[in-house]
Chains A and B, each alone.
Chain A
Amino acid sequence: MTRFLTRHSWSLGLFAILVILLVATRIIQPNFGASGLDSLARAALPFAFATIGMGIVVIAGGIDLSIASIMAVAGVIAALLMQQMGDASAGLVVLIVLLAGVAMGAINGLLIVLTRVPDIVVTLAMLFVWEGVALLILNAPGGTAAPWLRALVVGGVTIPGLPPELTAWLPRAFVVLVAFTLIIWLPLRRSKLGLSIYAIGSDQNAAFRSGVPIGMTRVAAYAFAGLFAALGGLSITLSTGIGEPIAGPYLLASVAAVVLGGISLTGGRGGLLGPIIAVFILRTLRLDLTLLSVDPNVTTIIEGIIMVAVVMIGGLLAMRGPR
């Protein structure tokens, strides 16, 4: 028990902050309930997926500056294909989009491994490339999303046989997030590949000498980031109903959440639970400040200050601790 507590102290602390914020929301807005939670979860969904993707790459010791652009490409592919192929084959569209995401991530990883150019530079260049691809696919916002897929992320959970009051407060978007994270991340973390991802992030030379295929592992990490970015892009299209070729503010937000969530930027350390909670903290904070009718720009300032303060304090603490 103590071991569990010390291992997850950072995540538990974050969770406590989230609970306090949610209680505060309830106090500010007494009728904050199921619909409020639903819109909160839906707004957080793309941010959460972007953060997971970024988190995996950062654990592997890299960074992916092109993540928001990959999301834009996935979003426009989804919107355009659903418009052209009709509602019936929307499931196929989802599969295509996810494969496209994996492919885009793998291309990023392959370029990093093959060209031996630093990952920041490669993904910076790929940011322009994917941005261009998104604009080539769809020049202006357009396309559509299949209604039955939209229903997957909008509204509360209804389980047949249970009274709706019991489950309606649980947003579907949240269930989707948890489901995908559990299905993809947990097996990955337990697998040899997951261990390799942590290994190359922690110490590349040591990993190489222990027989970890560095290049392959790096490509795989970026491919998983691409997969989650595609999920993020898909969820934007599903919650807005159209495809948007201009990338949103997901790059900055995902880096912020990854750092807040306790993943070390030097790689090899941290899990994905903390960053996901961090995403919800940042979203709830924004919601609270909006409910308090604070200027949204002041909200941006506060978010920035929190992020900077957290990393500064973290840095000072790390210096006092063992090197």
Chain B
Amino acid sequence: MAEYRAIRVEKGSGGFGGPLTIQGTEQKNKVMYITGGGVAPEILNKIVELSGLEPVNGFKTSCPEDQLALVIIDCGGTLRCGLYPKKRIPTININPVGKAGPLAQFIKEDIYVSGVTDANISLADGSEAPAAAAPAEEAPAEEKKGIDTSKKLSEQMAESGKGNVLAKIGLGAGKVVATFNQAARDAVQTCIGTLLPFMAFVSMLIGIINGTGFGTFFSTLLQPLLGNVFGLMILGIVCAIPGLSAILGPGAVISQILGSIMGAEIAAGRISPHLALVGLFALNCHAACDFIPVGLGLAEAETETVEVGVVSVMYSRFITSWIRILLAIVFSIGLYTAV
């Protein structure tokens, strides 16, 4: 009877996972939505229209799992978002939620996509294998069915009428809350994943430096460099020497250690806080010199551009380093001078 076309679903802004390719079959021909207490999500119309799948309201009725080609949910990151991925049923979450909740480990890019809006849904161009097996033949007759289905849907929406305003507010509020919740999750992850390890690492170094008396030795060694304008200028320019700058770059580890040491020296009163701004620029002259090929790759640069760019950026870092530090010196006027 009905014909099914493969659709491609990409993640929306702030979303996770995908792109998924959904292909309905004779057996797997239903899309179930479990959203907003039974209100059809906005994206449902387009999905039904494009794919030819039959919509099922998960709040009103249920559907055997082996008939489900797709599930649409609006989970804020507690349970549902992991439930269907766990059963390996392709899942769209209209909220921008990533790997979260007790079933987070099942939420993977190949079965789950989130933050989806109408703009993220399109017909698959056929270049990607469908997430659900067995492709079906295409036929022109299906368009009629698509329109019919969507009409029914809009009728459905019209029938429920004014209740929808409330539901819309509810859905909107739910989305904002889910967005903040996900933002918090990401933020905590950043703290645990990158900030705390680095703090622990540098703290141990500082412990060794301070606890062994090495600090006094080390700071007398670095004092001439970190403790005055000229030293910082020299440090900045030397760090930016092409080639050396790329070696000193990775993870900004060296800069971060020097920054922490300089801070400790400022706190101890051995370096004037007036130099803080100059220090920031001096320690940063060689920033990202190790990252140039990757960074240009992110900008989708051609191979020749990368070849030229790597050298060019290192040169410009070197050439402009003294200008940056000079600017910092000039703009340090009046900064923490009262101390």
Note whether A and B form a binding pair: no
Question: Which residues of A does B touch, CB under 8 Å?
Answer: none
